[in-house]
Structure 1
Amino acid sequence: MSEAALKAAPGVPDANRWKALVFIALAQLMVVLDSTIVNIALPSAQQDLGISDGNRQWVVTAYALAFGGLLLFGGRIADLWGRKRTFVVGLIGFALASALGGAATNEAMMFGARALQGAFGALLAPAALSLLAVTFTDAKERAKAFGIYGAIAGGGAAVGLILGGFLTEYLDWRWTFFVNIPFAVVAAAGAWFVINEPAGSRNRSTLDIPGVILSTLGLVALVYGFTRAESEGWSEATTVGMFVAAAVLLVTFVFVESRVKAPLLPLRVVADRTRGGIYLSLGLAIIGMFGLFLFLTYYLQIVKGYSPVKTGFAFMPMVAGMITGSTQIGTRLMTRVRPRFLMGPGFLVAAVGMLLLTQLEIDTSYAAVLLPGMLLLGLGMGTAFMPAMSMATQGVRPQDAGVASAMVNTSQQVGGAIGTALLNTIAASATASYITDHIGGATSRTQQQLVQLQGQVQGYTSAIWFAVGILVAAGVIALTLVNAGRPGATAPAASGDGEGAEEELPIPVIAH
């Protein structure tokens, strides 16, 4: 079918679109798996490669800095160079970087491989999201596509815990890197032969070099500041310096973007009320989610004594909830109700699930507390994430879909960095306070160990209480700011950002 015919009748079934979704989803699964699978393997890799305790954080930090710092650049490259080409190059580069990490013989090779993974991931992720945005233009088809995509994006991290545990326990930590290679090769080959990027969706403007430099340095400084805050403290000189540098660089970036003819990030993309609400609520939700993964992993392994594999399986109710919320609730209601009536209640249901988890004790029953808590959390997050991802590029020009998609990734990446640093600080402070108050009454070694464990649980629950509040805030923001109409219905009036005159896709909404 010709492109013109497809635009005239966007709801006409096209088998290639669904084949494309398979390969895009496979690539997304690989990226999400990598966010947790390497963490499981880190202790073994550290021992084999002789990485010091002081340097081991760079296995995670090198990836986070490259990925977070280059996302906006990667999104704009996809718009300028073509999303299909960027997607394939990102996959191939990610595979090669993974091979380098799996073959690493020293810490320098490992850190370099992780940085390369992050850099190619910053090309891959926005390209994948924007490919969905310009491929699925019919409201009902898009709801189904993003239901599947949202389930993978939400539940892949928990699957990574299981896979990482299996590979580390039964094979070798190097396979947590090598496993990416078949994923990437299959996705790249399939994408090359199946995906057909719509004509006219590429941006033909020049690259905003000052914007690239300022945004990259600013985001790197911001992510690194939160990373140092976790390990070195919030008042440490370098940490404060990173935050000051990030603020100066990002404010300068906004000023430059308001002046240049072809900005890296057109400010109208983030100034729209609905998109701004989505970026903000997603970022907050990720802070809460990172807290959950972090503290429940510690709780299950350190307090309950679960193995890595058993820990991964313990997260499966959350995955099931996410899949149900995304593919059943979100998909079925996306074209019937406004997005805020899925996002807001979804985040609030997730907050209820998180609230249950504040009741953790050393001897807490998994079936009585953790199981229902994780089910509700997954159900709420899956229901909220699906419309958020689908609506994140509403009303933007197709030529800007890549950078708009990159903003979603950026809000999630920054949210993850904030969540790890902030909630860890809260937990550590509560743990230290509890131990100080109670250790004096522990006369035996067994009693002292019990106080230590109770202190850790107190720290986890204190941080989870904070995460509950963050999820409630995300729900309120979604209900208040996200004012878009349901997909396929008449779009609301422009939000005063000047986008009313923009060229849009065949219907008012293009999916993230």
Structure 2
Amino acid sequence: MTRPTTARDSRWAALLVLCTGMLMIVLDMTIVNVALPAIQQDLGFSQSSLAWVVNAYLIAFGGLLLLAGRLGDLIGRKRMFLTGLGVFTVASVLCGVSFTPEMLIAARFVQGVGGAMATAVTLGMIVTMFPDPDEEARAIGVFSFVAAAGASVGLLAGGVLTQALNWHWIFFVNIPIGLAAAALTARLVPADRGLGFGAGADVLGAVLVTAALMLGVYTIVKTEEHGWGSAHTLLLGAVTIVLLVLFVARQRTATNPLLPLRVFRSRNVTGANAVQILMVAGMFGMFFLGTLYMQKVLGYDALQIGLGFLPTALAIGTLSVGMSARLIGRFGARPVLLVGLALILLGLLWLTRVPVAGSYLTDLLPAVLLVGIGAGLAFPTMMTLAMSGATESDAGLASGLVNTTAQVGGALGLAVLATLSTGYTASLLARGEPETAALTKGFHLAFGIGAGLVALGIVLAVTVLRAERPAERPELEPVGVV
């Protein structure tokens, strides 16, 4: 049945409000990158601990998304979204007033908690507001633009704020945005009734998976100090694997598991989430390590770095909003995804050849454009596939899962690529290599490994995903209640 015009208009206005809140959260994943040198100098971070300014946020975010999505199904997704906005905004104040490394890392962790609470339910709210496949594809395209292009916009905003004011304002700017988004959400976003706590929440499962993710990234980051084959790395790595095995075992036996394993019966849901982990892990290094290349090798300031990544945001925006939905409708999701992944792969391979005396127009611009165009095609497609078959009762869980794979991929990818790059650079410096040359070769290694991860994602997409059009998507069993 066709909805009244006013209801349709209200839904699109609600979508913009949700995306505004989402944009604020996504920005904080990369807005910090440009300000890292200033933060390091001001608060006295060591080089090895600086990555935790990013990792503390990503690990709290990725580790809690599944639980937050499930709780959204239980207590109501609108209520969870508003609570998350509140926690995130308060934590932004704490980040802005931080005066020690420990305080900033702790505040960033709390930011990640708030971000998880709000983000986990956003996509679920969108798919329930837009049940029509065509409208859903357009709405997911808008969401994908915010989720993907927000990373590039964050780099530009970080450059402007750091250059014009100081790094504290990359956090203070969240305060008015968070308050406005909360007020508009309360007014425009329709309320929903949760399933109630009678359905239960798998707290033990959440503790196990969060502990595994945190310990895993900590282990990888510390390999710079201890080495990959050290007893320290092997022991903590083994504990991480045990925690993950216990989490899976818990999901098989829990009365109301955090992540019911039957959700993975769909090849497209499983494949899309697996491909997303590899793709995000591979391309996330472009922003973090690309920033360091521009700053430490080419001598760019914060604003120049932000402008350098602007073409990525523009390319993602052009393709995500509208165009990707039309391409999916005409050719199907799988071919569009494969083209997007191939373009990202080419962009990362281009970065493996950047020289010490690089030129932006010939050495960087082609790469950021290729990655931007590829991400503009790939992200909406993966989200459409990953949400295929989600019912109203489990939309929060499905939304939490797709966001979890993105954030886990980002956190682990950053840890691995940054650690390997730093370790290789250190070995070259020990051999007497000039600093800029050693840094550049370290970045080459990281970009090459990132390209390899994306290539593996292409292989998975070809072998696992089914070629089907949006109208033919299979329905999964409801997974919200067991």
Map 1:75-224 → 2, pairs under 5 A: 75-197=69-191, 205-224=199-218
1:210 is paired with a residue of what secondary structure? helix
| Partner Cα separation in structure 1 for residue 144 and residue 478 of structure 2 | 27
| Partner Cα separation in structure 1 for residue 226 and residue 21 of structure 2 | 35
Worse-matched range after superposition: 301-310 or 135-144: 135-144
Please say if 1:225 is aligned against 2:208. Answer: no
Find the counterpart in structure 1 of residue 374 from structure 2. 380
| Partner Cα separation in structure 1 for residue 368 and residue 228 of structure 2 | 31
CA, structure 1 residues 474+329, in 2 after alignment: closer, same or farther (shift >3 Å)? farther
Output one character per residue of 1:162-188: Cα deviation in whole Å (capped at 9) or x when no partner.
211221222122111111111111111
Give 1:217 shift: 2.1
2:450 is paired with a residue of what secondary structure? helix
Find the counterpart in structure 2 of residue 509 from structure 1. none
CA, structure 1 residues 367+32, in 2 after alignment: closer, same or farther (shift >3 Å)? same
Output one character per residue of 1:360-392: Cα deviation in whole Å (capped at 9) or x when no partner.
112332212321221111101110111111221
Length-normalised TM-score, structure 1 = 0.86
2:447 paired residue among 464, 469, 472: 464
1:398 is paired with a residue of what secondary structure? coil
| Partner Cα separation in structure 1 for residue 429 and residue 45 of structure 2 | 31
Find the counterpart in structure 2 of residue 345 from structure 1. 339
Length-normalised TM-score, structure 2 = 0.91
Output one character per residue of 1:346-373: Cα deviation in whole Å (capped at 9) or x when no partner.
1012112222222211233221232122
Give 1:490 shift: 3.0
Choose 1 or 2 for highest CA Rg: 1
Given that residues 218 and 250 in structure 1 are in contact (C-alpha distance below 8 angstroms), is that contact kept between their aligned partners in structure 2?
yes
Give 1:42 shift: 3.6
| Partner Cα separation in structure 2 for residue 45 and residue 432 of structure 1 | 22
2:464 paired residue among 465, 481, 485: 481
Output one character per residue of 1:390-412: Cα deviation in whole Å (capped at 9) or x when no partner.
22121133222212222222212
Give 1:149 shift: 1.5
Please say if 1:452 is aligned against 2:446. Answer: no
| Partner Cα separation in structure 1 for residue 290 and residue 211 of structure 2 | 33
Worse-matched range after superposition: 125-134 or 52-61: 52-61
Give 1:287 shift: 1.3
Output one character per residue of 1:44-94: Cα deviation in whole Å (capped at 9) or x when no partner.
344444556675454334323322222221111111111100000100111
Q: Which one has the bigger helix percentage? A: 2
Given that residues 72 and 215 in structure 1 are in contact (C-alpha distance below 8 angstroms), is that contact kept between their aligned partners in structure 2?
no
2:472 is paired with a residue of what secondary structure? coil
1:334 is paired with a residue of what secondary structure? helix
Give 1:266 shift: 0.9
Find the counterpart in structure 1 of residue 383 from structure 2. 389
| Partner Cα separation in structure 2 for residue 153 and residue 22 of structure 1 | 13
| Partner Cα separation in structure 1 for residue 2 and residue 292 of structure 2 | 52
Give 1:156 shift: 1.2
Amino acid at match of 2:275: S
Given that residues 72 and 265 in structure 1 are in contact (C-alpha distance below 8 angstroms), is that contact kept between their aligned partners in structure 2?
yes
Please say if 1:325 is aligned against 2:319. Answer: yes
1:258 is paired with a residue of what secondary structure? helix
| Partner Cα separation in structure 2 for residue 379 and residue 124 of structure 1 | 27
Worse-matched range after superposition: 157-166 or 199-208: 199-208
Amino acid at match of 2:53: V
Find the counterpart in structure 2 of residue 34 from structure 1. 28
| Partner Cα separation in structure 1 for residue 325 and residue 343 of structure 2 | 17
Worse-matched range after superposition: 46-55 or 106-115: 46-55
Amino acid at match of 2:33: N
| Partner Cα separation in structure 2 for residue 315 and residue 248 of structure 1 | 39
Give 1:417 shift: 2.5
Find the counterpart in structure 2 of residue 288 from structure 1. 282
Please say if 1:420 is aligned against 2:402. Answer: no
Please say if 1:307 is aligned against 2:301. Answer: yes
Give 1:425 shift: 3.8
Please say if 1:239 is aligned against 2:222. Answer: no
2:329 is paired with a residue of what secondary structure? coil
2:163 is paired with a residue of what secondary structure? helix
Output one character per residue of 1:184-231: Cα deviation in whole Å (capped at 9) or x when no partner.
111111111111145677785112233233222223222333333355
Give 1:315 shift: 0.8
Percent pairwise identity: 39
CA, structure 1 residues 370+123, in 2 after alignment: closer, same or farther (shift >3 Å)? same
Amino acid at match of 1:476: V
Any unmatched runs of 5+ in structure 2?
none
| Partner Cα separation in structure 2 for residue 339 and residue 164 of structure 1 | 34
Any unmatched runs of 5+ in structure 1?
1-7, 440-447, 505-512
Amino acid at match of 2:392: P
Find the counterpart in structure 2 of residue 356 from structure 1. 350
Given that residues 260 and 479 in structure 2 are in contact (C-alpha distance below 8 angstroms), is that contact kept between their aligned partners in structure 1?
no
Amino acid at match of 1:70: L
Please provide the CA RMSD for this pair: 2.6
2:199 is paired with a residue of what secondary structure? coil
Find the counterpart in structure 2 of residue 401 from structure 1. 395
| Partner Cα separation in structure 1 for residue 317 and residue 225 of structure 2 | 34
